[in-house]
């Protein structure tokens, strides 16, 4: 089955004139029985969300702060009071509260939690979305879309798995409209550069030609209609708030339904060195409502089983509250939340001590988290990829699947 899909894919991709570097050369068999997800939504919390004000509150301790907590639908478990609706649907979530990393700088940590590897300039790694797209992409739509954020690149998988970065969906819609209107001009480009292209059809030239083709393909695809959240019935739109994040989550849902393999939605502003409590509460409000609504929608449309939701950020924040009522970078403890039909809902991995200063149970590494995510998406963590520069490499940095996450 896998081989057939892959052959089908390479047929499509090859036909478009791409070259695929990231040929998968081995596929260890998955041992799980449950069906893997084939779509992924990444909720990227940019700046590093505080675990105390989200999924690991420490009520009435010196480190806990003023936010307070609410009990969840799972007995004995509490979320921060910022997330009342998510607490109600906690049975859908798998919360990992014991992720430990060493990267305390934004750029490095952000790279680590997009790719699963610490940055090494000479060996760039593909971002999670590119790996997923490489495994599942089979439409003429762009394989992965980043809403409001920045892509980390497909590295050895090849440029056809580069993320389409959309900052403002409305602007993109207008752009696509303009391009569609002038589509006859696009075909002229090819006619005039045909002789040049055939003479110099080498890598960079062939790549640019393929990009131009890809643009034509996208214009033929329903991308513009999918991005347009106004096409949703009013009753649905009203359930999502009007803020940027909620609107992007709604657009993401439409893109996933349309066949995009992976969508990342970024929520900015988590770098709360000052005024942590008020800012976290402000950020949690849209997060809480958009995320819960999205889960309801996915369940209603039957997409729940084949979609994985990943909530992750740069790192956690310090137990100590600094003089400006802020929390600083704290890579030693970080929260990650997974959700979707392929995940064991209502499970909680790892535990921190009473003051949230140390992990006391089941510490996991970033590589473990990535191994687990890839396993849930149907990619064995030891899947081997051929790189452009020769040596084959594995999908994760020696990560092991965290037990208890799979449904």
Partner 1 sequence: MTSNRHAERQTEFTLSAGLAKGCVKAVRVCIHMIALAFKRRSRRVLKSVWSANTRLFGSKRRMASPPTVLFRLCIACVLSHGLNVAFDNSVVGQSSLDQIVVRNAQRDGIQLTEAVSDDQYLRRASLDLIGRIPTPDEQAAFASDPDRRQLIERLVRDPNHALFWSRMWTDILIGYGDRREVDRESLRQWLADRIANDLPWNSTVSELISSSGRGAFHGPANFMLRHLSDPVVPVARLFLGVQLDCARCHDHPSDRWTEEVYRNMHRFFAATQSSEPVPGTYLIGDRRPNRNEAPPRFLTGSRPRTSLWREELALFVVNSRPFARSVAGRLWYQFFGHVPGGSPDNVNARNAHDCSELIECVADHLRDDDFRWRSLIREICLSEAYRRRVSSTDPDWPLIPTVKPLTADQLYDSSMIVFDGDAWPSISRSELVSQMVAGSREQAIGDPWKVREPLQSLMSRLSIDMRATNSSVDDVFRRVLCREPTDAERKLARDCGAEELMYALVFGNEFAFWH
Residues that bind partner 1 (CB under 8 A): 105, 107-108, 111, 119-124, 142, 150-153, 159, 162, 164-166, 172, 175, 178-179, 182, 184-186, 188-189, 191-193, 195-197, 199-200, 202, 204-205, 207-209, 211-212, 214-215, 218
313 close to 46: Cβ distance less than 8 angstroms: yes
Rg of the chain in Å (alpha carbons): 22
- List the one residue out of 18, 31, 33, 39 whose CA is nearest residue 135: 39
Give whichever of 3 and 178 is closer to partner 1, judged by the CB atom: 178
8 Å CB contact between 227 and 172: yes
Residues 68, 93: contact at Cβ < 8 Å? no
Strand partners, 262: 40, 144
Minimum Å gap between C-beta 156 and partner 1 is 14
CB count within 10 Å of CB 371 equals: 26
Distance CA 107, CA 303 (A): 33
Instruction: Tell me how far, at minimum, the Cβ of 97 lies from partner 1, in Å.
Output: 28
- Residue 189 CB, nearest approach to partner 1 (Å): 5
Distance CA 45, CA 66 (A): 21
Considering the complex, state which of residue 190 and residue 361 has its C-beta at the smaller distance from partner 1: 190
Q: Give 103 or 306: the residue with its C-beta nearer to partner 1.
A: 103
Q: In angstroms, what is the minimal distance from the CB of 66 to partner 1?
A: 28
- For the bound state, the minimum distance from the C-beta of residue 283 to partner 1, rounded and expressed in Å, comes to 22
Q: Smallest gap, in angstroms, from Cβ of residue 121 to partner 1?
A: 5
CA 101 to CA 314: how far, in whole Å? Answer: 10
| Spatial distance between the Cα atoms of 78 and 87, rounded to a whole number of angstroms | 7
Q: Which is nearer to partner 1, 1 or 120 (CB)?
A: 120
- Alpha-carbon span 227 to 250, nearest angstrom: 9
Measured from the CB atom, the residue of 64 and 151 that comes closer to partner 1 is 151
Report the b/e string of 310-344 with b at 16+ CB within 10 A.
bbbbbbbbbbebeeebbbbbbbbbbbbbbbbbbbe
CB of 207 to partner 1, least distance (A): 6
Neighbours of 269 (CB within 10 A): 14
Q: Of 93 and 166, which CB lies nearer to partner 1 in the complex structure?
A: 166
Specify the residue, 12 or 218, whose C-beta has the smaller distance to partner 1.
218
**Least separation in angstroms between CB 153 and partner 1:** 6
Of 1 and 121, the one with the shorter C-beta distance to partner 1 is 121
Q: Is 109 helix (H, G, I), strand (E, B) or coil?
A: helix
């Amino acid at each position: 089955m896998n081989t057939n899909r892959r052959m089908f894919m390479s047929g499509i991709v090859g036909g478009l004139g791409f070259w695929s570097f990231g040929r998968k050369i081995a596929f260890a068999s998955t041992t799980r029985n449950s069906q893997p997800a084939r779509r992924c939504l990444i909720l990227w919390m940019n700046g590093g969300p505080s675990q105390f004000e989200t999924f690991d509150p420490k009520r009435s301790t010196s480190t806990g702060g003023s936010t307070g907590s609410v009990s969840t639908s799972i007995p004995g478990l509490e979320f921060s009071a910022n997330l009342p609706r998510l607490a109600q649907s906690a049975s859908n979530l798998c919360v990992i509260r014991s992720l430990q990393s060493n990267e305390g700088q934004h750029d490095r940590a952000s790279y680590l939690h997009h790719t699963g590897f610490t940055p090494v300039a000479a060996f760039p790694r593909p971002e999670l979305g590119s790996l997923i797209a490489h495994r599942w992409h089979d439409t003429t739509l762009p394989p992965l879309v980043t809403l409001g954020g920045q892509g980390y690149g497909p590295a050895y998988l090849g440029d056809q798995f580069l993320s389409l970065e959309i900052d403002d969906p409305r602007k993109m819609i207008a752009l696509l409209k303009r391009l569609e209107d002038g589509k006859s001009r696009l075909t002229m480009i090819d006619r005039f550069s045909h002789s040049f292209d055939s003479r110099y059809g080498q890598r960079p030239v062939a790549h640019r030609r393929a990009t131009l083709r890809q643009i034509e393909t996208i214009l033929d695809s329903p991308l513009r209609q999918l991005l347009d959240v106004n096409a949703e019935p009013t009753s649905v739109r009203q359930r999502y708030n009007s803020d940027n994040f909620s609107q992007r989550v709604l657009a993401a849902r439409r893109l996933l339904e349309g066949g995009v393999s992976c969508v990342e939605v970024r929520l900015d502003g988590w770098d709360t060195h000052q005024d942590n409590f008020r800012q976290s509460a402000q950020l949690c409000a849209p997060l809480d409502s958009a995320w819960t609504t999205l889960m309801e929608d996915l369940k209603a449309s039957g997409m729940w089983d084949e979609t994985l939701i990943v909530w992750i950020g740069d790192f956690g924040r310090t137990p100590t509250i600094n003089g400006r009522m802020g929390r600083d970078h704290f890579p030693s403890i970080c929260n990650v939340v997974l959700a979707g039909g392929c995940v064991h809902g209502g499970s909680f991995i790892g535990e921190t001590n009473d003051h949230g200063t140390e992990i006391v149970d089941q510490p996991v590494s970033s590589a473990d988290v990535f191994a687990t995510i890839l396993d849930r998406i149907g990619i064995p963590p030891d899947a081997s990829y051929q790189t452009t520069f020769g040596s084959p490499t594995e999908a994760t940095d020696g990560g092991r699947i965290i037990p208890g996450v799979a449904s």
